[in-house]
Structure 1
Amino acid sequence: MIALSLAEIAEILHGELRLSGTDAPETIIDGDVDTDSRAMQTGSIFVAKPGEATDGHRFVGAAVDAGAVLAVVEHPVDAEVSQIVVADAVTALADLAREVVARVRGEGELQIVGITGSNGKTTTKNFLARILESVGETIAPIKSYNNEVGAPLTMLRVTSSTRFLVCEFGAAGPGSIAHLAGLVTPDISVVLMVGLAHAGGFGGIEATAMAKAELVHATKSGGTAVLNTDDPRVWAMREIAQSRGIRVVGFGQGAAADVRAESLEVSASGTSCEIEAGGERMPLRLQVLGAHHISNALAAIAAAGVLGVPAAGAITQLETVQLAERWRMQPMGSDRVRIINDAYNASPDSMAAALRTLAQIVGPGERTVAVLGAMSELGESAGEEHDRIGLLAVRLNIQRIVVVGPEARRLFLAAVGEGSWDSEAVHLADQDAAFEYLKDELRDGDRVLVKSSNSVGLRHLGDRLGELFS
């Protein structure tokens, strides 16, 4: 974080400063900010956030022992550390992030990119960060820090030497993206797609589209909206942008795209295509598996182009990316039995894309195996969407369909109803049962996809299988 005095921080947070030891209001703090006491280092600021499972106030002492020199609390605690008492720790975190970013931006160098979409946010964030790191100091979220806590923590990592801040914005509900993006007012907004991920919490896909459009509304006047021309709901957001004097750059595979992909090819070693941008045509060969990641790459190339990075330079950086993120189309195992662990999250769109990738990368004499769990937060459409994925798996000729957990039973029944029987499809109660089944069932030449929503936890099953067959 940038250097601020204790008095300045207290004023920004609208809090009461309680000094400890030799600290004075003029004492300067410039350490990292976090809500995890285990992440503290010498000079850090610990934000004691109450949670559903535990309360951060219980860990102030541990944070101090680890090096914290300031605690932001909702009530005073018995610890030898200066404290700022605030009404709400999460609100205080947002207030501090807003002010820190505003001060750095006021120096004239910092440019901010905000990314949202039902799928692909983290991959696109990682792609764009890889590109921008080659031309200037770049701050981007760790993992999927995209909520009311993670996003401000990312923002607070900026310093006077930061040139680019890449923010990932998830939508907990209507208004959440507007709130988070409003903390920084991005120069560039990137909207990837509108799908059924979390649609149950929004009341349907049209409400989801409105939530994603909040990022375009929050974009700085005179800024740029980078929009997916292949998604009609996203491309329609250009009208919002144009009404606010925001430039529009399109990416996709259609003629309307400014950054376009053609001739896609998917193999077990990666994904390739031809990129057309700025009147030039050039090849892109991603090491990351899956045709759906080409769209994420296009978004990153387009956003980087707005920031002055030529497409050729962006492509050079993208081709160095070996893994989008842990548990996202992550190759594991060995050439003998290849495990693709893509179980960090799942929506109908990402589930379908992963299954298509599995079907595309199989070679002669190899067998496709899909280990599938439930997709969460789909609301009233959950049953229908699980049916659709079961049908798709059969129609893609996935040779073994292993469905795990009671919440995914409809997926199994749909597969059986579509013609996957005689042990081609099985339903198992939990991860342990699936592991016991698969360690005997899998054989040389198998290509195995493990896919579920994060809450189901099949990513850990994928890890176990990857280690077993490494």
Structure 2
Amino acid sequence: MIELTFARIADVLGGHLILDPRDTAETTVSGTVDTDSRHIGRGDIFVAKPGAHTDGHDFVAAAAAAGAAVAIVERQVAAPISHIVVPDAVGALADLARFVVARVRAHGELRIAGITGSNGKTTTKNLLARILSDEGETVAPRASFNNEVGAPLTMLRVSDSTRFLVSEFGASAPGEIARLAGLVEPDLGVVLMVGMAHAGGFGGIESTFHEKSQLIRSVRPGGVAVLNADDPRVVAMAEIADERNQRVRWFGRSARADVRATEVETSAAGTRFLLTADGASMPVSLRVLGEHHVMNALAAITAALEFGVALEDCVARLETVELAERWRMQPLGSDRVRIINDAYNASPDSMAAALRTLAQITAPGERTVAVLGAMSELGEFAGEEHDRIALLAVRLRIQRIVVVGTEARRLYLAAIGEGSWDGEAVFCESAEDAYVYLLDELREGDRVLVKSSNSAGLRHLGDRLGESFA
């Protein structure tokens, strides 16, 4: 973070500064800001966020012992540390992030990209950050820091020497993207797709469209909207861009895309395609597993080109990326039994893409095994969407469908109803039951996909299987 005095931070937050005897109002701080005392080091700022199960105020003393310079709290504490009392710690995070980014932007060359979409945000964020990092200091979220806490924490890592900020914007409730993107007003906004992820929380696909479109409404006037030319709902966001005097750049596999992929070939080693952008064409070998990541790569390239990166450099840097993120199409195991751990998150679109990838990369004589858990946050659409995934798995001729957990049982029943009734579909009550079953069931030549929403916990099952068959 940039260097600020305690008094300045208190003023920005509208908070009450309570000084430790060792400090004054003009004492400065420039360390990392975090809500987890375990990540606090000397000179950092600890934010005591109340939670559903734990209260950050209980860890202020631990943060002080770890060397925190100051704490942001909602009530006065007895710990030996200067602290700033504010009405809302999470709101204070947002206020501080807004101030820090605006100040750096006013005095430097900071360029800001915002990314949203029902799927692919984290992969695209990582690919874009990889491209930009060779151009200058780049700040991007760790893991999926894209919510009301994670996004501001990422923004607060910006310093006077930062050239690029890549922000990922997720949403679990209406209005969240507008609030978060509004903190920084990106120079460029990327919308990947509008799908059924979180549809239960938004009330349907049209409400999801409205939420995702808020990123384009938050991009500064005169900025750039990077839009998926192959998704009709994303295409409709061009009208919003026009209203805000933004330039639109299209990516996709259709002829209308400014940055386009053709001749796509998928294998267990990754995906090859011919990239065409601004009249130039060149081959790309993407090592990140899954054909669906081609669109994420195109989005990252389009954004990077707008920030002045040469096309050849975009491709060279992307081709060094082997894994977009842990638990996202992560190859584990061995050539004997290959495990693909994609169980960090799941939506109907990402589940379908992962199943298609499994079918595409499995050679003749090898067996496809899909270990599937529940897709969360679908609300009233959960039943039909699990049915649809079961139908797809059967039509792709997945040879063994292992469904894990009570919340996913409908997927198992639907698979049986679609024809997987002769032992092809198996139901396990728990991840432990599935692990025991798979240790005995898997054999040489199996290609195994482990896929579920984070809440189902199958990512740890994938890790265990990867270790067992390494």
- TM-score by structure 1 length? 0.99
Deviation at 1:421, TM superposition (A): 2.0
SS, match of residue 352 in structure 1 = helix
- Percent identity reads 69
Deviating beyond 2 angstroms after TM superposition, the runs of 4 or more aligned structure 1 residues are none
Deviation at 1:22, TM superposition (A): 2.0
Match of 2:396 in 1: 396
Deviations 1:224-259 (A, max 9, x none): 000001100001100100111000000001111000
Aligned partners of 2:374, 2:331: CA distance in 1, in Å? 21
Aligned partners of 2:195, 2:20: CA distance in 1, in Å? 51
Match of 1:82 in 2: 82
Match of 1:330 in 2: 330
Q: Can you give the 5+ residue segments of structure 1 that lack an aligned partner in the other structure?
A: none
Match of 1:339 in 2: 339
Counterpart of 1:369, as a letter, is: V
Match of 1:221 in 2: 221
Aligned partners of 1:381, 1:58: CA distance in 2, in Å? 40
Instruction: Note if contact 2:108-2:160 (Cα within 8 Å) is conserved in structure 1.
Output: no
Match of 1:129 in 2: 129
Counterpart of 2:53, as a letter, is: A
Match of 1:263 in 2: 263
Match of 1:285 in 2: 285
Deviation at 1:419, TM superposition (A): 1.1
Aligned partners of 1:222, 1:266: CA distance in 2, in Å? 38
Q: Does 1:155 align with 2:142?
A: no
Aligned partners of 1:456, 1:273: CA distance in 2, in Å? 34
Deviation at 1:364, TM superposition (A): 2.2
SS, match of residue 190 in structure 2 = strand
Q: Can you give the 5+ residue segments of structure 2 that lack an aligned partner in the other structure?
A: none
Aligned partners of 1:385, 1:152: CA distance in 2, in Å? 33
Aligned partners of 2:419, 2:144: CA distance in 1, in Å? 38
Match of 2:386 in 1: 386
Match of 1:115 in 2: 115
- TM-score by structure 2 length? 0.99
Counterpart of 2:233, as a letter, is: R
Deviation at 1:174, TM superposition (A): 1.4
Aligned partners of 2:400, 2:181: CA distance in 1, in Å? 43
Aligned residues: 470
SS, match of residue 302 in structure 1 = helix
Match of 2:363 in 1: 363
Deviations 1:265-308 (A, max 9, x none): 11001111100001011111111110100000000000000000
Question: RMSD of the alignment, in Å?
Answer: 0.6
Instruction: Note if contact 2:115-2:190 (Cα within 8 Å) is conserved in structure 1.
Output: yes
Matches within 5 A, 1:233-312: 233-312=233-312
Instruction: Note if contact 2:44-2:70 (Cα within 8 Å) is conserved in structure 1.
Output: yes
SS, match of residue 166 in structure 1 = strand
Deviation at 1:363, TM superposition (A): 1.1
Counterpart of 1:460, as a letter, is: H
Deviation at 1:409, TM superposition (A): 1.2
Aligned partners of 2:277, 2:186: CA distance in 1, in Å? 23
SS, match of residue 160 in structure 2 = coil
Match of 2:98 in 1: 98
Aligned partners of 2:456, 2:418: CA distance in 1, in Å? 25
Counterpart of 2:119, as a letter, is: N
Aligned partners of 1:214, 1:316: CA distance in 2, in Å? 33
Aligned partners of 1:71, 1:28: CA distance in 2, in Å? 13
Aligned partners of 1:266, 1:174: CA distance in 2, in Å? 36
Instruction: Note if contact 2:336-2:445 (Cα within 8 Å) is conserved in structure 1.
Output: yes
SS, match of residue 358 in structure 2 = helix
